[in-house]
Amino acid sequence: MNTVQKEILVTETGEAVIQLLQNDRRVTIGNIVDLLEGKRHAASGERAEHLRAVLVFIRKKAVL
């Protein structure tokens, strides 16, 4: 994972956590992945590719 992908990981994960907290939902890996999947489907081009890499990284490190 390169520096740009790490920055995207931190930013997107942080935004997902904030969104979950604002909506009074549990902050779990599954909920974070669900939100990031939605963003990936809505994104296009390089951003979508970075989000895909972030999701692959999270799935490798977490037991879902």
As to burial, measured by CB atoms within 10 angstroms (0-12 exposed, 13-18 middle, 19+ buried), residue 23 is: exposed
pTM given for the model: 0.84
The pairs formed by 48-56 with CB atoms below 8 angstroms and a separation of 24 or more are 50/4, 50/5, 50/8, 51/8, 51/12, 53/1, 53/5, 54/5, 54/8, 54/9, 54/12, 54/13
Quick one: pLDDT band at residue 27, thresholds 50, 70, 90? Answer: very high
Domain with 34 in it: 3-61
- Which of 8 and 23 is assigned the larger pLDDT? 23
CATH value at residue 40:
1.20.5
Of the pLDDT bands very low, low, confident and very high (cuts 50, 70, 90), residue 17 is: very high
62: confidence class by pLDDT, cuts 50, 70, 90 = confident
Q: Is the pLDDT of residue 64 over 70?
A: no
Predicted local confidence at residue 4, as pLDDT: 80
The total number of structural domains in the chain stands at 1
Q: How many whole angstroms separate alpha carbon 21 and alpha carbon 23? A: 5
